Amino acid sequence: MNASRYDCIVIGAGHNGLTCAAYLARAGRRVLVLEAAEQAGGTAGTREFAPGFRASSCAHLLHLMPGWLLEELRLARHGLRMAAENMPTFALSGAGALRIPTDVDSAAHDLGEADARAFRDYAARMRRLAAALRPLLEAVPPRLGSRAWRDRLTLLGLAAKLRLLGRADMRELLRIAGMCVQDLLDEHFQSPLLKGALAFDAVLGTNLGPRSPGSVFTLLYRLAAGSGAAASLAQPVGGLGALTAALAQAAKAAGAELRLAAPVARVIVTEDSAAGVLLGSGERLEAGCVVSSADPTTTFLRLLGAEHLDAGFVRRVSHLRTQGMTAKLHLALQSMPRFRALAGAEPTGRMVFASSLRAVEQAFNDAKYGRFSAAPLLEVIVPTAVDPGLAPAGRHVLSAVVQYAPYRIAGGWEGQREQFLDTILQTLEAHAPGLRDSVCAAELLTPQDIETQFRVSGGHWHHAELALDQFFMVRPVAGAAQYRAPVRGLFLCGAGCHPGGGVMGLAGRNAARQVLAQAA
Amino acid sequence: MLIETEPHYRQPLLRTPFHERMRAFSQVDSFIPWSGYSTVDVFSSVEQEYFAIRNGASLYDLTPMVKYRITGPDATRFLDRLVTRSVAKLRPGRVAYALWCDDDGLLIDDGTIFRLDAQEYRLCTGERQLDWLLDSSIGFDVGIDEVTAEIAALALQGPCSCWVLKALGLEGIETLAPFEHRSVKLPDRVAAAGAMAGTAMTVSRTGFTGDLGYELWVDPAQAECLWDGLMEAGQVRTLRPVGSRALNIARLEAGFVLPNVDFVSSAHTLRNGTARSPLELALGWCVDFGKGHFTGRRALLAEQGRPPRRRLVGLDIEGTKPAHNALLYGDHRGRREIGSVTSAAWSPTCKRNIALAMLDAPHFEVGRQVWAEIYLNRELTWERRMVRARVVERPFFAPARRRAMPPGDF
C-alpha cells in the first residue's frame, strides 16, 4: 500500500468536516482532513477582523449542537469551555426591551397577562412538536422505495414518534407545518415586539419573510434542532473557533491528520469510484473514500465534475436554492456599547432588532426585489461582555447577524457594501447612542463575501435553503440524500446535507455513520 | 419561419422547402404532422412507394428531422456523456446511430451523430430535445443550436440510389462507405440559378430502410433545384417520392425501432414501468460500458446484473394478416398474457408476416413459440384469431447491397 494512502480524506475543516473526521478516526480509519484556508473552522471559526479584535466568523452562538455529541467527542477535555450558557434573548425596540421567555414557566415576566397565558400554551405545544420532530433531525434519511430493513425501521420509528403526539397535537402539526409564521403568531399574541422577535427566529438565515408559506416549518426546525442541545444559546470562550479547535483536537487525538492551506482542486475518480483528491498544488492524494463537507454545488459540479454524474442529477443540483440572504457584521469598539432599551445593563444576552411582524416583512420586501433592507433586522451580541479575551483590554467587539442581504443585489455589492454598513450603523446608533463614534474598525460580510472567503457557493449559511422541498429525504437532492454521492466512495457531510447547518454537527456525524456502514 | 404574432395553437404546420414539389406529386393529398412540419403520409399508393424503396429508388423528405449543431472544446465529452456509445471513437467524416437515456437508464430517444470536425457535430433526432441537451450541457463548454430550418434534407434510398447520384453528376460517390458522410459540390447545372458556383451539399450513406441509400443535406435555397435534378436524373430508374407509410414497412423489415411506436420516450411516459431501457429494446450493442460515465450508466449496469424482465423481439406470424397491436400469449387459449406487438406488417419482400413485439422473460428467446391475438375486420364483422408466432432473429431483411463497396449497379 502506498505510504500516502488514507482510508478517508475529508474535504474541509469546518465543524461538520471535523466532526465526521473525529468519528471516522475513532472508528479506526486513517483520516486526512484537508482545509483550503490557513486555519480550520470554516463558517464556524474565529477570525481576527481588526488587529487585536476577534469575532466568530459567521455563526456566533452555539445552540443546536446536541449535548451527547459534545460528550461523545469529549470536547470539554479538548479545550471547549463556555463563556456564557442559556443566554437570554431581548427584543429591542425604541420603547424598551422585552425579555423573550426561554421556557414555559418564565412567561409571565414582561408580557401582558393575555400574551403570557397564550405564550404558556404556545410554548408548551411547540416544545412537544419539537420533541416529536427531533428524531427526524438525527436520523439518516431513509431511501424512498427501499426495501432495506434499516430504511423501513427509520420511517416506522419516525411515524411512531409522531403518532405518540396524540390527536390534538398531530392535527395542529398538520395544520401549521405549511403555514406562514405571521398567521400562527397572530392567532396567539398581541404584542408586536414579541411577534416580531418570534418571527425573526423563523426567518433567520432563510429567504423567507413572516408572510412566506413555510416559515412555520423553519421555526419548528429551529426549535427541534435546539431541543437536543446541551444548552440554549451558548458562547464558547474564544468564539465559535474554539469549538472547531476542540473538534480538531478530538479528531487528532483519535489519529486524524489535518492539513491546512491545502485546497482540493478535484476528486479523482477511477472506475466510477472516488479514489482520492488532486490538490490545487498538483499533489495527488489517494484514499479509499472521500468525504466532502463543501456545499453540494461545489462538491458535485466543481470538485467531482458533471461528467461523472447523470444529467438529471446535475439538473437537480443546479436547481438547488443556495443563495444566501444573511450578512455578518463585526465591529471593533473603543468602549462597551450601551443600549438604551437595556437601561444601563450590560449587553450579555442576545439582542434581536425586529420590532414587529410588519417590520420583518418590510425588511424582506426590499430583499425580494434585489435590494438590501432599508431597515435591517439584527441579531446582536457583544461577545466581549462575557469573553473579554476577544478584544484588547477595555475594548469590545460587537457581532451581528444581519438580515436581509440578498446574494444577488441589483447593481452588485461593490459600492453598496458601504451603504449597507452605514444603514446598519444608523440602526445600531438609534438603539445605542454613541456607538458609531466608538467604532474603530468594521467588517461586513455579504453573502458574496461569505461565498468567496469561505468557499460556499451562494454564500448560504445552510449551504442550501432549508425548506420542505430541500429537506430530509430530498436534501440536498434526491439521489444524494443518504450522504452518498452517486459515485461510489464519495460522501457528503456538510450543511447541504440533512439536517442542515446551524453548527449542529449532525450532518458530519451521520455521514461518518454511512461511511462506516459502507466499509463494513 | 414561425408566425410570431399568432399563439402557437393557431400556427399552421411549417412547410419544408420541398413542400410545393411534393404537393404537385401527391395524388391523395395526404399530409401528416411531424415535429411541427407538414410531411407526406402517402403520395399515391403505399405498395408502389414501398417497391420504389426496395426495387428502384425513392425520395423521402427528411427536413423535419430535428437537427442540432453541437460545437465547442467539450463537444466530444458532452456527447460521450449524453449517449450510450463512444463518440470519441467516431472519426470526422463518420456517422453513428446513438441512444440517450435518463438517469434511470430508460431511453429518451435515438438519433444519428455526424462528426463534422474535431469540435463540431450534428445530432439528428425525430423529436425536439433541447431541454435535455441543455440540462446535459451543465458543466461542459459546448454550444447547442437547433439548425433544423437551416438544412433541408432528403433520403434517397433503394438499390438504384447510387446510380441516381452518379447520374446527377456526383462523381466518385461510390467510394462513400456506409456510415460515412462527405461534402460534395452540387453540380452547376443543378444548382439554383444565381447561386455561387461550388455550392456544397453533404451526402451521407445512411438511412432508415436497411437498404442501399443516402441522405442529402443541403441549403434550403437549393432544395427545389436538388429535387428537380434528382427526379430528372432518376427518371429511367423509376425514382419516386415516398411517404412515411411506405418507409415504415421498410424500416420494420430492417428491424429499426420507431419512437412512440416501439417505445415511448421516458421524457413522455407518465405511468410507471412503461418506459424502456436500451437493453430491453435489444439495443445493448449500442451501449458501451467501457467508455467512461454517461447518463444512465449506473442504472444500466445494475439492470445488466439482474435477469432481464422483457425484451423487444422479431416475430414471424402465421398467415398474412398484420398483427397490429396484438396481445401475445404463452398458450393458444389466451390465459397467460406475455407481451404485445409494437409494429406489424406484411413484408412484401420477405413474404412473411412480421412484427416487432415486447415479450416477457423467458418467452423472448429466439425459437420460442407464442400466440398472437389478431382481430380481423370482415366487412365490419370482427373476428378474433389466435395464431402461432415464432420469435426470430432480426433484421428480417438485410440485403448484402446495403453495405457493398462499391455499391452495385442496379
| A439-455 average pLDDT score | 97
Q: Which amino acid, one-letter code, is at B79?
A: L
C-alpha cell at position B372: 398472437
What pLDDT is stored for residue A1 in this prediction?
Answer: 41
Bridge partners (DSSP) of residue B181 are B204
**Distance, first Cα to last Cα, chain A:** 20
Q: Where are the alpha helices (DSSP H) in B65-222?
A: 75-82, 130-136, 161-168
Query: pLDDT of A56-88, one tens digit each?
Result: 999 999 999 999 999 999 999 999 999 999 999
The 3 state secondary structure assigned to A210-278 is CCCCCHHHHHHHHHHHHCCECCCCEEECCCHHHHHHHHHHHHHHCCCEEECCCCEEEEEEECCEEEEEE
Cβ–Cβ of A309/B77 closer than 8 Å?
A: no
Q: Is pLDDT at A2 greater than 70 in this prediction?
A: no
What pLDDT is stored for residue A155 in this prediction?
Answer: 86
- Domain B13-63+151-242 fold is Gyrase A; domain 2 (3.30.1360)
Which of A307, A311, A479 has the CB atom closest to B135's CB atom? A311
Burial B289-300 (b: 16+ CB within 10 A, else e): eebbbbbbbbbb
The bridge status of strand B95-101 relative to strand B30-34 is unpaired
Which of B103, B140, B298 has the CB atom closest to A306's CB atom? B140
Spatial separation of the C-alpha atoms in residues B178 and B172, rounded to whole Å: 14
What pLDDT is stored for residue B190 in this prediction?
Answer: 84
What pLDDT is stored for residue A451 in this prediction?
Answer: 97
Which of B140, B293, B296 has the CB atom closest to A308's CB atom? B293
Give chain A positions within 8 Å (CB) of B140.
Answer: 306-307
Query: pLDDT of A188-217, one tens digit each?
Result: 999 999 999 999 999 999 999 999 999 999
A319 contact B CB<8A = no
Query: pLDDT of B63-91, one tens digit each?
Result: 999 999 999 999 999 999 999 999 999 99
- Rounded to the nearest angstrom, the minimum Cα separation between A308 and chain B is 6
Nearest to B90 by CA among B169, B242, B255, B204: B204
Residue with cell 461510489: A488
What is residue A229's DSSP assignment? B
Cβ–Cβ of B295/A311 closer than 8 Å?
A: yes
Residues of chain B with pLDDT > 90, as a percent, come to 92
- At residue A105 the predicted structure's pLDDT band, cuts being 50, 70 and 90, is low
Cβ–Cβ of A311/B77 closer than 8 Å?
A: no
Cβ–Cβ of B298/A486 closer than 8 Å?
A: yes
User: Is there a cis peptide before residue B399, judged by omega within 30 degrees of 0?
Assistant: no
Q: Which amino acid, one-letter code, is at A267?
A: V
Give chain B positions within 8 Å (CB) of A479.
Answer: 103
What pLDDT is stored for residue B193 in this prediction?
Answer: 64
Mean pLDDT of chain A: 94
Provide the CATH number for the domain formed by B307-392 in this structure.
2.40.30.110
Q: Which amino acid, one-letter code, is at B51?
A: F
Contact B287, B300 (CB under 8 A): yes
CATH 3.50.50.60 location in chain A:
6-46+65-80+241-320+461-519
- At residue A148 the predicted structure's pLDDT band, cuts being 50, 70 and 90, is confident
Residue with cell 412512440: B260
Contact B116, B87 (CB under 8 A): no
Q: Is pLDDT at A146 greater than 80 in this prediction?
A: no
- Rounded to the nearest angstrom, the minimum Cα separation between B89 and chain A is 17
List the domain boundaries for chain B. Answer: 13-63+151-242, 66-149, 307-392
Spatial separation of the C-alpha atoms in residues A286 and A316, rounded to whole Å: 29
Query: pLDDT of B121-149, one tens digit each?
Result: 999 999 999 999 999 999 999 999 999 99
- Domain B66-149 fold is Alpha-Beta Plaits (3.30.70)
Query: pLDDT of B15-73, one tens digit each?
Result: 999 999 999 999 999 999 999 999 999 999 999 999 999 999 999 999 999 999 999 99
Residue with cell 440572504: A325
Give chain A positions within 8 Å (CB) of B103.
Answer: 310-313, 479
Tally C-beta pairs within 8 A across A and B.
Answer: 47
Q: Give the number of other Cβ atoms within 10 Å of residue B393's Cβ.
A: 12
DSSP A448-492: HHHHHHHT-TTB-TTSS--SGGGSGGGSS-TTSTTSB-SSBTEEE
Give chain A positions within 8 Å (CB) of B275.
Answer: none
Q: Write out residues 330-349 of A within 8 Å (CB-CB) of B.
A: none
Q: Which amino acid, one-letter code, is at A444?
A: L
- Domain A6-46+65-80+241-320+461-519 fold is FAD/NAD(P)-binding domain (3.50.50)
- At residue B215 the predicted structure's pLDDT band, cuts being 50, 70 and 90, is very high
- By C-alpha distance, the chain A residue nearest B100 is A311
- By C-alpha distance, the chain A residue nearest B267 is A312
User: Is there a cis peptide before residue B329, judged by omega within 30 degrees of 0?
Assistant: no
DSSP SS3 for A374:
coil
Q: Is the pTM of this model over 0.90?
A: yes
B139 contact A CB<8A = yes
Cβ–Cβ of A479/B81 closer than 8 Å?
A: no
